[in-house]
Amino acid sequence: MKKSTTLFIGLMLFSMFFGAGNLIFPPFLGANAGTNFPLAITGFIVTAVGLPLLVLTALSFVQGGVRSLASRVHPIFGIVFTIIVYLSIGPFLAIPRNATLAYEMGLKPFISDSPFALIGFTALFFLLVFLVSLNQSKMMDLMGKIITPLLLLSMVILVVVGFVRLQNGALAPATTEYAQYPFLKGFLEGYNTMDALAALAFGIVILTTLKQQGATEGKMLRREMLKAGLLAGSLLAVVYCSLGYIGVKMAGTSTFENGSDILSSASYLLFGQWGNLLLGIIFVLACFTTCVGLVSACSNYFNSLVPKFSYKKISLFFSLIGFGLANFGLSTILLVSVPFLVAAYSLTIVLIVISLFHPLFKGSSYVYVSAMTLTGIVALYDGLKAFGFTFGVVDKYMSYLPFADLGLGWIIPAIVGTAIGFCIYLIKGDSSVIVSKPVEK
């Protein structure tokens, strides 16, 4: 495979990951971390970049999507878990949210408030999303060769001018948790980006693209996947550090509620009215590429699950859902989707980490089932808590779990479950392996 092909696939992967949330988190982290910014951004990169790379690595070994990986627990679990991941991270959350943010940052600042403006913008937005996602063989050319370079150029302009003109003033002291444990706080913020779930969705798109470009042999596929992932991850890390630095330097100028406020203020300070245009271009391009990647990934999976519905029809269906939710009921969908994401994320991390040690226990389902069962109990509890449920005495005992106050109460159960499964494997051997090779396009 040509080096240029891998380069463009890596750029395409970067653009798929780099959505609105990735723009907003780093500057807000920088503004709050202040003098502790280096430690905080390091923790952020570990989870916001490291975890997605681990997911892509695991998917390259199974040479399939998330269903192939999750089916190592059980085929039924593979289907259910994958459906939850795709629907939560795709049409019921990230797709409509990105479209709405693209409107808020890309068009709304330049027009008078109108109830029809959002409808018109999102209609055109999702028409273009549908058309680009329709032809997967051309996605690399459009996103890797055209849209991503435009996005990076816009980012470079903002960052370079920011570095030059935001040099005055001492760094502000760290606030809240960033003063006490900056690395861990940054780690948790990166964890909250949910990019590991996005990697589960995007992995099959990248694998399909690599196969279309001639990387059909196992070792070559893994190698090219790693190259593309490392390129995308390196770019993400550089962008996160740069945006975070802008947040650090802007901290002393005002009080900000979120990262978008920081970027809006910084853009206006650096470029005046033209700053709104530059920031609007960045947000629209970032949100667009993420939506294209998610529509394509979700359509790929559901086409493999129900082949009688064509990829084209499913892409149209998800584009219409995104359009509808971007205009009606997004806040309600967020309330429903976030608890599913909370539950799915811990399961995803445990599944990925165990899969990396797959050869050590010969893929025995004892290990997978035991680890995922104990993790799943805590994940289900956390998800229901996110819905607003309370469980009386159960809440008290769950609070005793190490790291529970940080939202990481699943860690110890996952370790215990893995250990129990491994012991059963050593005693009984690997006869429990579930042979299942679900087909994914």
List average pLDDT for each run of 10 residues in the chain, which is 441 residues long. 82 87 90 93 94 90 80 90 87 88 88 84 95 81 86 91 79 84 90 84 83 79 89 94 92 83 90 90 91 91 92 95 83 70 87 90 91 94 87 90 88 96 86 47 45
Q: Tokens 């529509």 identify what position? A: 295
Q: Quick one: DSSP state of residue 217?
A: S
Domain membership flag for residue 406: no
Alpha-helix residue ranges (DSSP H) falling in 18-135 = 20-33, 37-45, 51-62, 66-70, 75-89, 94-106, 115-134
Helix axes 273-305, 311-327, angle to 10 degrees: 140
What are the backbone angles phi and psi of residue 429, rounded to the nearest 5°?
85, -165
Beta carbons of 430 and 361 less than 8 angstroms apart: yes
Domain membership flag for residue 310: yes
Number of structural domains in the chain: 1
Residue 252 structural domain: 3-330
How far apart CA 431 and CA 422 sit, in angstroms, is 13
Domain membership flag for residue 430: no
Domain membership flag for residue 89: yes
Beta carbons of 314 and 299 less than 8 angstroms apart: yes
The token duo for 349 is 């991390």
CATH value at residue 128: 1.20.1740.10
Domain membership flag for residue 25: yes
Domain membership flag for residue 393: no
How far apart CA 150 and CA 152 sit, in angstroms, is 5
Judge residue 113's burial from the number of C-beta atoms within 10 Å of its C-beta, 0-12 exposed, 13-18 middle, 19 or more buried. exposed
- pLDDT at position 183, please? 94
Domain membership flag for residue 421: no
- pLDDT at position 330, please? 59
User: Could you give the 3-state DSSP secondary structure of residue 222?
Assistant: helix
Domain membership flag for residue 281: yes
How far apart CA 86 and CA 362 sit, in angstroms, is 28
| Neighbour tally for 432: CB within 10 Å | 16
Judge residue 124's burial from the number of C-beta atoms within 10 Å of its C-beta, 0-12 exposed, 13-18 middle, 19 or more buried. exposed
Beta carbons of 30 and 45 less than 8 angstroms apart: no
Q: What is the pTM of this model?
A: 0.85
- pLDDT at position 129, please? 94
Q: Tokens 């027009």 identify what position? A: 111
- Classify the C-alpha dihedral 245-251-254-257 as positive or negative: positive
